Every structure is written in structure tokens, then in C-alpha cells.
Chains A and B, each alone.
Chain A
Amino acid sequence: MTIEKINDLYQDIILEHNQTPFNFYKMKKATNYFKGFNPFCGDQIEIFCNIKKHTIKEISFWSQGCAISKASASIMTSLLQNCTIPEALDMFSLFYQYLTINKKVKLTYKMRELVIFQRIRHFPIRIKCASLPWHTMKSALEKKSI
């Protein structure tokens, strides 16, 4: 039972993203940047965005976080490439609701990969790990320039 519950949390896709994350680099000429911090575990994540005409042309991250936060950041950055800022903020609020509020919240087709974080509800203390990259991205979009 224990091992099943753990495997639910640490699914293969999460572990693969953790080992070889997408968009895992420090962007040199970012227009927007923010450093997020989880005081509970000390994790830090940096989000770099290149925004032109309200569209995210490029987004990357750099962190020393846990498997959950790294996988969440990896998927988030691959989803948000070429998204407009309002689209990105909508995705943020939907994913946050999906993690925290309502079991009935359904992810859009575009966001289907994030379904791997469904089981995180059983580990309340880890919700912040999955949401940290998204909160940091939101702060970065709110014009926190380098």
C-alpha cells in the first residue's frame, strides 16, 4: 500500500522530468525575471521570460528543487512557450485550483500533462512544491524586470 501511494506521487513522468527537465537554463537576455522561495524547505527557483508584444516568446527556469517542483517547472515552461500573458495567468489559476480547491476542476486539453499532479492532494505539504514554479512565473510576468 505504502509503495503504491509513493509511486502515485513519484510517477515515471515526474521522475523523467526531474532527471532531464525541459527549459532548464539561465536565460541571458530575459525581459522578465523572478526568484521564488519556499521558506518551508528552502527551495529556490528562478524563472526567466522573454516577452514580446504580451506574448511569452521564451521561458526557462533554474532551481535546486525537489522532484515535484522541478517536474512542475519543466512542464509549465513547455506549456507556456508562445502563450500570451492572459493565457498564462488563466493557466496558473486553473492549475492552482486543480491542486488545492476543488476535485471537480478539470484541466483543459492543452494542460492535460499536468494531470500527473492529481495525487498531490494526498500530500498536502507538497502542494507548495508543485505550485511554487507557477507562483514565481506569475510574479515574473507582473513585470519584475532584471
Chain B
Amino acid sequence: MPYFQKQIKKDFSFFQYKNTANSFIYFDNAATSLTPKSVINSIKKYYSTYSSNIHRGVYRSSMIVSQMCEETRHSVAYFLKTQDIDTIVFTSGVTESINIVAYTFILNNIRKENEVLIAITEHHSNIVPWQRICKKKKCKLISFYLKANKILNWKDLVKKLSNHTKFISVSHISNILGINNDIRGLIQYAHKKGIFVLIDGAQSVSHASINLSIMKPDFYVFSSHKMYGPTGLGVLYINQNIKESIANFHTGGGAIKSVNINETVFMPLPQKLEPGTPNISGIIGLKSAINYINTITINNIEKIELHIMNYAENLLKKMENVNLITAFRKSCILCFTLEKIHPHDITTILNEYKIAIRTGFLCAEPLLNYLNIHSINRMSIVFYNTVNEVKRIYYILKKIKWILRK
């Protein structure tokens, strides 16, 4: 495995610059993952060789680029194991995807006194749009909580479901707890009751095998930059069963069949939700990112990450003053605090030792309030991290105690 990982590091130019980044240890992959050279090269190739707009030109480069973008749609569908290619929509990221669902579907399908259910673990991007929709429609936004071992409490969910519940929005893997939730069971249960479900796959798409044809959610969203792709691009998957009920979000060119001065006929999905010139280089880069993941394979990624996560967890447990936030069924996220030392001081010192981790409330303030924690540190591990890097952070964390005279 060490040899394999040494080879993997060569795929990322981040590790090869000879100035600052050369020995930097990157443990903030849940915020954004590093970009492999193959992805950078594909983006570079677009700008240097083709650089045309899509679906507009009847010349060679435009046709090639249009085809490349549609190939990405096929790659995404194949990657998510679904045959619904025409309901894979390119967006700017998870935040926009969730807003699109909120304003093109939920807004038109809920009425006064309906309820929207979310988990307490949600990222702000999966809370705030629902707050706004609920205020607008005078609906209730209800959250369900966790068991003692910090797994989502399905009994609490069932208790909070009522005839008024219209929609559930849950993350597949929480960006703080890192627990892989049993989404399939939730979706089946909700569908029996006629409730629509959105799954936020931001943290799961590059770490776990996703099979939408088995999961069958109504909506599945993820961002490209958390799966080794470029920033500014995301994907919204919409289930075939509800595609006719999706209204327009932004409108403009590219999303229309015909326009006269008073009336517009819109294209079907996915173009309906993709007006204007899309993030073409991003879409092309996403295809390379998916190819990159497929070359290593999700199975290998899961194995390597599990190995490093277990090692990191066992090592951190040895420290006297460390509190691990979760200790069960973790995916690739390890959150911790050190007693009497503020997380922000920890990250500042780690930064001086060229280690990048994340600190703060990680865009999940309701969860931290619920856990009665004020601020945390997060290490998010992926396959290019190594056991030696974990040893290094452990060594520095021990040193911090001494530096801050605790």
C-alpha cells in the first residue's frame, strides 16, 4: 500500500511544487479535494485547443465540446449507476442544486401547514433554503435528532412524521459526524408514505459506492470539487417519476425551444434547468475526475481510507486530552477537540507545521449547538493521505500541549 500511495501522490501537482506546498499535509479534503493532473490537463486542453461554446456553433470545435459535455452527463449517470441520463442537471454546486429543488419543485408542491423534515446534522446549505421556503409557505421545518452513539435516530424521524410531512432532506454522510447513514431504508419508508426525499451526497459521492437505481431518491446532489473535480460545478439528479413537475429556475437562452415577445416554450430537462452558457471547462474536468476515480476504483478508495481512518482514530485515542466527536461507523471524517485548547489555536499552530485541517463550526451550527460544542477541528482523510502524515499530525498535536503550556 505505501508504494501505491507514493504513486498516487505523483498524480497531484499540489505535492510537487518545490516552494511552499512541497511538504504540505492536506487534511481538509471534506472542504475541497485536491485536483489531479489529468483533470487540470483536460481543462487546459479545453481552453487551449477547443475553447468554443456548446450547442450553438455548427463548426468542428463547438461540436466536439458539445459532445464532450454530453459525454460527461453519461459518465455521471454511469458513475451514479442510473439510466436516467436526461435528468442529470449541471449546476454550480450542492448549494445551487438544493435551491433549485426548493424553488422549482418543493415551493409548488407544499401548502400551508405541510411539514419539511431535516436531520439536525445538516450543513447550512441544506437548512437555509428550507427555512425560506417554509416561511414563504407558512409551513413547519422540523428536525430529527441523534441516538447516543450519534447515528441518526430513525425512531425520532418516524415519531416526527405526520400526514402533513411532504418532504425530507438528509445528507448521506454528515460533514461533521462522517457517519454513512442508511439512506436506502429511509427512502423506501418515505416513499411508502408519499414523501419526497432529497439526498445530499456532497460528502459521500467520492467515498462510497453510490447506486441510485437501488436507492431511488427523488433528488441526489453533489459537488464536483469534493470529488477531485473543478470548483464551480455540481450535479442535480432528479428522479424520472417527477421530472414533469419541475418548474423553471433561472430562465434565459439555452433553456428554450422558442420565444416570441410575450411567450416562451421551454426545453425539457436537463436543458430546462441549464440556461446560459454552462461551466464548460468544469463539465469537461468532471469527466476526467470521474475517470480518475474509476481508474483507482471506489473499492480501493474505500479500503485505503478505512485503513488510514482506523490508524488515525487509534492514534488519537492514545492522547490523554483528546475528545473524538464520533467513534462509530465513520467514513472519512474525524472531528476532535483538545481539552482546554481552542480549536482555532490548534489550526494556527498546525499551519505553521504545514498541516492543513479545518476548524470552526463547519457550516453546521445547529449540530454543534445540539452537541453542546462550540467549535471543533476536522481532519478529513482521502486515499492520497498516508499513515506517515497521520503520525506527523499526532506528533504535532502532542507538541501543541507543550507550546501552549497546558
Chain A interface (Cβ within 8 Å of chain B)? 2-3, 5-7, 9-10, 15, 19, 40-44, 64-68, 123, 125-126, 129
Cβ contact within 8 Å between B352 and A10: no
- Interchain nearest-CB distance for B336 vs A (Å): 16
Question: Would you call B113 an interface residue if the criterion is a C-beta within 8 Å of the partner chain's C-beta atoms?
Answer: no
Could you say which residues of chain A place their CB within 8 Å of the CB of B343?
41, 66
Tell whether A42 pairs with B342 under 8 Å between CB atoms, given A6-B349, A123-B348: no
- Interchain nearest-CB distance for B313 vs A (Å): 24
23 A-B pairs with CB atoms under 8 Å apart are A6-B349, A6-B352, A9-B348, A10-B345, A15-B404, A15-B405, A40-B360, A41-B359, A41-B361, A41-B375, A42-B360, A42-B375, A43-B344, A44-B374, A65-B342, A66-B343, A66-B344, A66-B345, A67-B342, A67-B345, A67-B404, A68-B344, A123-B348
Cβ contact within 8 Å between A129 and B344: yes
When chains A and B are docked, how far (Å) is the Cα of A132 from the Cα of B344? 14
In chain B between 265 and 315, which residues have their CB closer than 8 angstroms to a CB of chain A? none
When chains A and B are docked, how far (Å) is the Cα of A129 from the Cα of B403? 19
Could you say which residues of chain B place their CB within 8 Å of the CB of A125?
348
Which one, B352, B365, B374, contacts A64 given CB within 8 A?
B374
Tell whether A5 pairs with B352 under 8 Å between CB atoms, given A41-B343, A65-B342: yes
Could you say which residues of chain A place their CB within 8 Å of the CB of B349?
6, 10
Query: What residue of chain A has the Cβ atom nearest to residue B361's Cβ?
Result: A42
In chain B between 388 and 406, which residues have their CB closer than 8 angstroms to a CB of chain A? 403-405
Query: What residue of chain B has the Cβ atom nearest to residue A12's Cβ?
Result: B405
Cβ proximity bits B332-346 to A, threshold 8 Å, 1 near / 0 not? 000000000011110
Which one, B345, B348, B365, B404, contacts A42 given CB within 8 A?
B365
Query: What residue of chain B has the Cβ atom nearest to residue A3's Cβ?
Result: B403
Cβ contact within 8 Å between B352 and A42: no
Tell whether A41 pairs with B344 under 8 Å between CB atoms, given A2-B352, A6-B349: yes
Cβ contact within 8 Å between B365 and A6: no
Could you say which residues of chain A place their CB within 8 Å of the CB of B352?
2, 5-6
Cβ proximity bits B348-361 to A, threshold 8 Å, 1 near / 0 not? 11001100000111
Cβ contact within 8 Å between B374 and A6: no
B contacts with A, residue count (CB < 8 A): 18
Cβ contact within 8 Å between B403 and A6: yes
- Interchain nearest-CB distance for A15 vs B (Å): 6
Could you say which residues of chain A place their CB within 8 Å of the CB of B353?
2
Besides A44-B374, A67-B345, 20 more A-B contacts (Cβ < 8 Å) are: A3-B403, A5-B352, A7-B403, A9-B348, A15-B404, A19-B405, A41-B344, A41-B360, A42-B368, A43-B374, A64-B342, A64-B374, A64-B375, A65-B344, A66-B342, A66-B343, A66-B344, A68-B344, A68-B345, A129-B344
Could you say which residues of chain B place their CB within 8 Å of the CB of A44?
374
Query: What residue of chain A has the Cβ atom nearest to residue B405's Cβ?
Result: A15
Could you say which residues of chain A place their CB within 8 Å of the CB of B365?
42
Tell whether A43 pairs with B375 under 8 Å between CB atoms, given A6-B352, A66-B344: yes
Could you say which residues of chain B place their CB within 8 Å of the CB of A6?
348-349, 352, 403
- Interchain nearest-CB distance for A45 vs B (Å): 12
In chain B between 368 and 397, which residues have their CB closer than 8 angstroms to a CB of chain A? 368, 374-375
Could you say which residues of chain A place their CB within 8 Å of the CB of B345?
10, 66-68
When chains A and B are docked, how far (Å) is the Cα of A44 from the Cα of B361? 12
When chains A and B are docked, how far (Å) is the Cα of A39 from the Cα of B215? 36
- Interchain nearest-CB distance for B42 vs A (Å): 33
**Which 3 pairs show the lowest CB-CB distances between chains A and B?**
A66-B342, A42-B361, A66-B344
Could you say which residues of chain B place their CB within 8 Å of the CB of A2?
352-353
In chain B between 152 and 202, which residues have their CB closer than 8 angstroms to a CB of chain A? none
Which one, A7, A43, A64, A126, contacts B348 given CB within 8 A?
A126
Could you say which residues of chain B place their CB within 8 Å of the CB of A15?
404-405
Cβ contact within 8 Å between B405 and A42: no
Query: What residue of chain B has the Cβ atom nearest to residue A129's Cβ?
Result: B344
B342, B343, B374 — most chain A CB neighbours (10 Å): B342
Could you say which residues of chain B place their CB within 8 Å of the CB of A123?
348
When chains A and B are docked, how far (Å) is the Cα of A15 from the Cα of B403? 10
Query: What residue of chain A has the Cβ atom nearest to residue B362's Cβ?
Result: A42
Query: What residue of chain B has the Cβ atom nearest to residue A1's Cβ?
Result: B352
- Interchain nearest-CB distance for B264 vs A (Å): 40
Could you say which residues of chain A place their CB within 8 Å of the CB of B348?
6, 9, 123, 125-126
A6, A7, A64, A67 — most chain B CB neighbours (10 Å): A6
- Interchain nearest-CB distance for A69 vs B (Å): 8
When chains A and B are docked, how far (Å) is the Cα of A10 from the Cα of B349? 10
Query: What residue of chain A has the Cβ atom nearest to residue B365's Cβ?
Result: A42
When chains A and B are docked, how far (Å) is the Cα of A129 from the Cα of B405? 20
Could you say which residues of chain A place their CB within 8 Å of the CB of B375?
41-43, 64
Could you say which residues of chain B place their CB within 8 Å of the CB of A65?
342, 344
When chains A and B are docked, how far (Å) is the Cα of A10 from the Cα of B343? 14
Cβ proximity bits B122-152 to A, threshold 8 Å, 1 near / 0 not? 0000000000000000000000000000000
